[in-house]
Amino acid sequence: MTYQRIATTTVGATASTITFSAIPGTYTDLLLVLSLLKTGGGAGGYSLNISVNGSPTIYRRTLVSGAAQTPIIENTSGTPLTIGAVPGTGNANIFGNTNIRILDYTSSTWKSAFVEDGFYYGNNGLSNFSGLYIDNTAAITEITLSDAGTTTFGQHSTATLYGILKGGSAATISTT
Amino acid sequence: MPSAIIPIATYTTVGTVNTVVFSAIPGTYRDLVVVVRGSMTSSGSSIAIRSGSMSFWRQGVVAVFGGTSPTGVTNLNAQLYSQTSVSPTAFGLEAHLFDYAQTNKFKAVTMQDMGGTTYAAMTTGWGDTTSAITAVTLQSYGGSTIAAGTNFSLYGVTA
pLDDT at A137 exceeding the cut of 80: yes
**Identity of the residue in A1, A109, A176 whose CB atom sits nearest the CB atom of B87:** A109
8 A C-beta contact, residue A22 and residue A163:
no
Q: Which residue of A has its CA nearest to B122?
A: A129
- The pLDDT profile of chain B, 159 residues, written as one tens digit per residue, is 445 888 999 999 999 999 999 999 999 999 999 999 988 888 777 788 888 766 556 666 666 666 565 555 555 544 566 666 666 677 888 999 889 999 988 888 888 888 776 777 777 778 878 889 999 999 888 778 899 999 999 999 987
Tell whether ipTM is more than 0.90: no
Preceding omega of B7 cis (within 30 degrees of 0): no
Contacts of B22 in chain A (CB under 8 A): 171-173
The beta-carbon neighbor of A129 closest among B11, B87, B122 is B122
Residue A54 DSSP code: T
Our CA angle for B37, B43, B45, nearest 5°, is 75
Disruptive mutation site among A60, A64, A136 for chain B (greatest number of B CBs within 10 Å) = A64
- Residue in A2, A64, A112 nearest the CB of B7: A2
pLDDT for residue A87 is more than 50: no
Residue A88 has pLDDT above 50, yes or no: no
pLDDT, averaged across chain A: 79
Q: Read off the pLDDT band of A19 (50, 70, 90).
A: very high
Closest among B57, B134, B77, B55 to B100, alpha carbons compared? B134
Strands A111-121 and A96-102: antiparallel
The reported pTM is 0.81
Regarding beta strands A29-38 and A86-87, do their DSSP bridges make them parallel or antiparallel, or are they unpaired? parallel
